[in-house]
Chain A
Amino acid sequence: GQQVMQIPQYQHVQEGEDFTTYCNSSTTLSNIQWYKQRPGGHPVFLIQLVKSGEVKKQKRLTFQFGEAKKNSSLHITATQTTDVGTYFCAGNYGGSQGNLIFGKGTKLSVKP
């Protein structure tokens, strides 16, 4: 069935270091969304990528969608303690009426 794989499961970094999480699907996605969940909180929408090869930036966060629309990545430059949380990618296979299939997430911890 449709499945979204996400790696790594955990990432521990020193404040100021960069961080990247990767997402992969075996089948082509309509679009992909990224969410952040703080400890004890709920997922919060960050961004949606739709086009093949799309790159979007939000301050220190860079999101990429692969050319084949099967993989995506989130890169954080110079992490801060406020970046702590779990980052989820969520793939949509069904267009505007589709629902999201979430990856297992990458839990980021940042050491000050």
Chain B
Amino acid sequence: EAGVAQSPRYKIIEKRQSVAFWCNPISGHATLYWYQQILGQGPKLLIQFQNNGVVDDSQLPKDRFSAERLKGVDSTLKIQPAKLEDSAVYLCASRHTGGNVYGYTFGSGTRLTVV
């Protein structure tokens, strides 16, 4: 099966600019996650979707970050305006709900550098 697709792979922006990331999960995976991974740290959850509904966005900095999954498939994550501390890899992951498949499948991520 195809993996989780993310784009772009790399992005460099100046602080206070806006940026958007796109994710296409594995077909049929109802649950989608966005994680932020700062260099040298473990991934930190930003938001969790179940189909097109938000399950958990408690750690999403809502003053500057937003995410949507309008049709329950693709998702976009936006940062506006970006800060230097937003420099990180943004990972999208999906998971099949139910059955015997438990692990998250991560995309290759988008490496964001804010200068």
A22 at the interface (CB under 8 A from B): no
Interface size class of B (residues with CB under 8 A): 20 to 34
Q: How many angstroms from the CA of A42 to the CA of B106 in the assembled complex? A: 7
Question: Quick check: B45 and A101 within 8 Å, CB to CB?
Answer: yes
CB of A65 within 8 Å of the partner chain: no
Establish whether residues B106 and A44, one from each chain, have CB atoms under 8 Å apart when the complex forms. Answer: yes
Question: Does A82 reach chain B (CB closer than 8 Å)?
Answer: no
Number of A interface residues in the complex (CB < 8 A): 23
Assembly CA distance A107 to B108 (angstroms): 19
Dominant SS among interface residues on chain A? strand
By a CB distance below 8 angstroms, the chain A residues around B55 are 97, 99
What are the residues of chain A within 8 A of B43 when measuring CB–CB?
43, 88, 102
Q: Are B42 and A103 in contact (CB under 8 A)?
A: yes
Q: Are A99 and B33 interface neighbours, CB within 8 A?
A: yes
Measured between alpha carbons, how far is A104 from B37 in the docked complex, in Å? 10
- Taking CB atoms and an 8 Å cut-off, the chain B residues in 60-96 that contact chain A are 91
> In chain A between 57 and 94, which residues have their CB closer than 8 angstroms to a CB of chain B?
88, 90
Interface residues of A (CB under 8 A from B): 6, 31, 33, 35, 41-48, 88, 90, 96-97, 99-105
Q: Which 4 A-B pairs have the closest CB atoms?
A: A45-B103, A102-B42, A42-B106, A48-B102
18 contacting pairs across A/B (C-beta < 8 A): A35-B103, A35-B104, A42-B109, A43-B91, A43-B104, A44-B106, A45-B102, A45-B105, A46-B103, A48-B102, A48-B103, A96-B98, A97-B55, A99-B45, A99-B48, A102-B44, A104-B41, A104-B42
